Structure 1
Amino acid sequence: MTGVSTLGQALAQIERFKSVQERFSDLSTQLATGKRTQKFTGLGADILTSKRSRADIKSLDAYVNNVMHADRRIKTTLNTVEEFKKQAENFAAALAGFTQQGTHQKGDIVYYDDPLTPGTIEHIQIGQTSEEMDVDFKTLQDMARKLYTFMVNLVNQQDGDRYILAGAETTTQPLVDSGTLDTAISSLLTDWKNTTLTTTQLISGLRSKDASVDPNAITDSLIGYSAPLSSGTVKDVFVRADDNTELNYTALANEPAFRDVIVALAYFKNENLTPMVDEIDPATMAVTAQGAPGTNIEEMKENFYEVFNNMAALVNNAIDDIDSVRYELEGVRARIAEIMQNHKEEQNLLVSAVDDVENVDINEVAVEINTLRVQLDASFRVTARLQELSLVNFI
Structure 2
Amino acid sequence: MTLFNSRVSTYQMNYFMRANVNSATVKLQEASKELGTGRHANLFKELGPRTASALQMRVTETTTHSFVTANKVLASKLETTLTATNSIRDTIGSVLEISLLNLTRPNTGAEAIQAEARAALESIVGSLNQSFNGDHLFAGIKSREAPMTRWEDVNADTGFSPQAVIDSIVGSGPPDTATAATMIADIHAVFESNYTADPNMNFEATFFGGTPLLDGSGAANARVTARLDADQELDYGVQGNDLPFREAMRGLAMLASVDVSQISDQATYQAWMQEAVDTLASASEGVLKITTDVGFQQEVVETATERLEDISIIQKLQIARLENVDVYEVSAQIASLEAQLQASYSVTARLGELSILNYLR
TM-score with structure 1 length normalisation?
0.72
Q: Would the aligned equivalents of 2:193 and 2:203 in 1 still touch at CA under 8 Å?
A: no
- Could you say which residue in structure 2 is the equivalent of 1:140? 113
- Say which structure, 1 or 2, has more relative contact order (CA 8 Å, 6+ apart): 2
State the alpha-carbon separation in 2 of the partners of residues 100 and 17 from structure 1.
Answer: 102
Q: Would the aligned equivalents of 2:114 and 2:259 in 1 still touch at CA under 8 Å?
A: no
Paired residue type of 2:262: P
State the alpha-carbon separation in 2 of the partners of residues 149 and 15 from structure 1.
Answer: 82
- Could you say which residue in structure 2 is the equivalent of 1:126? none
State the alpha-carbon separation in 2 of the partners of residues 161 and 345 from structure 1.
Answer: 31
Paired residue type of 1:225: F
Q: Would the aligned equivalents of 1:191 and 1:197 in 2 still touch at CA under 8 Å?
A: no
Deviations 1:237-293 (A, max 9, x none): 01122222211111010112111111111111214656211xxxxxxxxxxxxxxxx
Q: Select the structure that is richer in helix.
A: 2
Q: Would the aligned equivalents of 1:67 and 1:241 in 2 still touch at CA under 8 Å?
A: yes
Residue 301 of structure 1, CA deviation? 0.6
Q: Would the aligned equivalents of 1:267 and 1:273 in 2 still touch at CA under 8 Å?
A: no
Q: Is the radius of gyration larger for structure 1 or structure 2?
A: 1
* Structure 1 pair 85–193 and aligned structure 2 pair: CA distance change class (3 A): closer
Q: Would the aligned equivalents of 2:170 and 2:257 in 1 still touch at CA under 8 Å?
A: no
- Could you say which residue in structure 1 is the equivalent of 2:304? 339
* Alignment pair present for 1:242 and 2:246: no
Aligned residues: 339
Q: Would the aligned equivalents of 1:34 and 1:362 in 2 still touch at CA under 8 Å?
A: yes
- Could you say which residue in structure 2 is the equivalent of 1:358? 323
* Structure 1 pair 3–12 and aligned structure 2 pair: CA distance change class (3 A): farther
- Could you say which residue in structure 2 is the equivalent of 1:56? 60
Map 1:215-294 → 2, pairs under 5 A: 219-221=202-204, 224-226=207-209, 228-229=211-212, 234-271=221-258, 273=260, 275-277=262-264
After superposing the two structures, state which structure 1 stretch, 204-213 or 63-72, moved more: 204-213
Q: Would the aligned equivalents of 2:194 and 2:202 in 1 still touch at CA under 8 Å?
A: no
Identity %: 17
Deviations 1:353-379 (A, max 9, x none): 222222222232112222333355456
Specify every segment of 5 or more residues in structure 1 that has no aligned partner in the other structure, as ranges.
105-134, 278-299
State the alpha-carbon separation in 2 of the partners of residues 213 and 219 from structure 1.
Answer: 6
Residue 15 of structure 1, CA deviation? 6.6
After superposing the two structures, state which structure 1 stretch, 233-242 or 83-92, moved more: 233-242
Paired residue type of 1:37: A
* Structure 1 pair 212–339 and aligned structure 2 pair: CA distance change class (3 A): closer
Correspondence for 2:70 among 66, 73, 98:
66
State the alpha-carbon separation in 1 of the partners of residues 261 and 100 from structure 2.
Answer: 19
Residue 322 of structure 1, CA deviation? 0.6
Deviations 1:157-191 (A, max 9, x none): 22233211010000233221435443443344459
* Structure 1 pair 4–142 and aligned structure 2 pair: CA distance change class (3 A): same
Specify every segment of 5 or more residues in structure 2 that has no aligned partner in the other structure, as ranges.
155-159
* Alignment pair present for 1:321 and 2:286: yes
Map 1:15-34 → 2, pairs under 5 A: 20-34=24-38
TM-score with structure 2 length normalisation?
0.78
Q: Would the aligned equivalents of 2:103 and 2:270 in 1 still touch at CA under 8 Å?
A: no
Residue 41 of structure 1, CA deviation? 3.9
Q: Secondary structure at the match of 1:145?
A: helix
Deviations 1:58-83 (A, max 9, x none): 22233233323322222211111111
* Structure 1 pair 236–222 and aligned structure 2 pair: CA distance change class (3 A): closer
Map 1:117-156 → 2, pairs under 5 A: 136-156=109-129
State the alpha-carbon separation in 1 of the partners of residues 111 and 25 from structure 2.
Answer: 93
Residue 348 of structure 1, CA deviation? 2.0
